[in-house]
Amino acid sequence: MPPNQKQALLRETYEAQLKKMLAYVTVSITSFIAQFTVFYLAVVGTLSPHKYPALILPSAFWLSQCYFAVAIITKYQELKTLEWKLGISKMRNYVYYPYRPRFGKIWDWLHRKILGTEEGDYAKLASALDWGAFFVLTVVTLFYGYIVWILLFT
């Protein structure tokens, strides 16, 4: 495959993966808001008196949160890899930095340093994303566990 065609294909792949990840983020936020609403209803005690059918909705929200957390971190890692191959991460310094606010520069530096994307350390990126996924999965599982506990044991 000629180099120009390979670059064009990488660009198309990057754009498609970015759109897919943004769709995942949108659906994940919506699902989390719905799960949080059910959590709130469990806390204030206004959930359905039919306990077992009432478990279907929070179970679906919990499963979707777990799925989208993994999907988002996977897409994010793919995007960072494609950015590196396309040279986008190197280009960012020349395009944005002269006019970037100081706090934005600090945020970008910390973000790239913590994730290892500045130097192309994808093992560090994978580790940071694993910890982030673990945190998200723990939070949504705690919400779900509390909802199940309220429905079944109170």
Q: Which pLDDT score is estimated for 72?
A: 94
Phi, psi angle pair for 49, to nearest 5°: -70, -15
Q: Which pLDDT score is estimated for 96?
A: 63
Q: In the chain, what are the domain boundaries?
A: 3-64+72-153
Write the burial class of residue 68 (CB in 10 Å: 0-12 exposed, 13-18 middle, 19+ buried): buried
- Tell whether the torsion through CA atoms of 132, 23, 54 and 56 is positive or negative: negative
pLDDT-above-70 percentage for the chain:
95
What is the per-residue pLDDT across 44-103, written as a single tens digit (0 to 9) for each?
877 767 777 778 888 999 999 999 999 999 999 999 888 888 887 777 667 666 777 888
Tokens 């191959």: give the residue: 85
Distance CA 62, CA 55 (A): 11
Q: Which pLDDT score is estimated for 92?
A: 67
Other CB atoms within 10 A of residue 111 CB: 11
CB of 31 closer than 8 Å to CB of 64: yes
pLDDT-above-90 percentage for the chain:
38
Q: Which pLDDT score is estimated for 95?
A: 65
